[in-house]
């Protein structure tokens, strides 16, 4: 049983590091999508304004 503990610990550690790295890298994307969805659900803005806002948040789009 002792022969399996080190490889199992390495695999579990790699999974934890991978999950943490994924969450850190995608945190900005998740935040912008949440802001966009929150804004899209507002009833008083026009569709074009919502579209420009979401594009600006997600893609840093200027809308020339």
At 64 the pLDDT is: 45
pTM of this prediction? 0.54
Is 64 among the domain residues?
no
Distance CA 30, CA 24 (A): 10
User: Tokens standing for 20?
Assistant: 């943490």
Is 16 among the domain residues?
yes
At 20 the pLDDT is: 94
Report the domain count for the chain: 1
Summarize pLDDT for 3-45 with one digit per residue, the tens.
Answer: 889 999 999 999 999 999 999 888 877 887 787 777 777 777 7
Q: Which domain holds residue 44?
A: 2-59
Is 15 among the domain residues?
yes
Residues with Cβ within 8 Å of residue 57, at least 6 apart in sequence? 32, 35, 36
Is 17 among the domain residues?
yes
Confirm if 63 and 55 have CB atoms less than 8 A apart: yes
């Amino acid at each position: 049983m002792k022969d399996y503990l080190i490889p199992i610990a390495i695999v579990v550690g790699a999974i934890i590091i991978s999950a943490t790295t994924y969450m850190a890298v995608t945190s900005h994307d998740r935040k912008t999508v949440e802001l966009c969805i929150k804004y899209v659900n507002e009833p008083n803005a026009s569709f074009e304004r919502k579209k420009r806002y979401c594009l600006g948040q997600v893609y840093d789009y200027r809308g020339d």
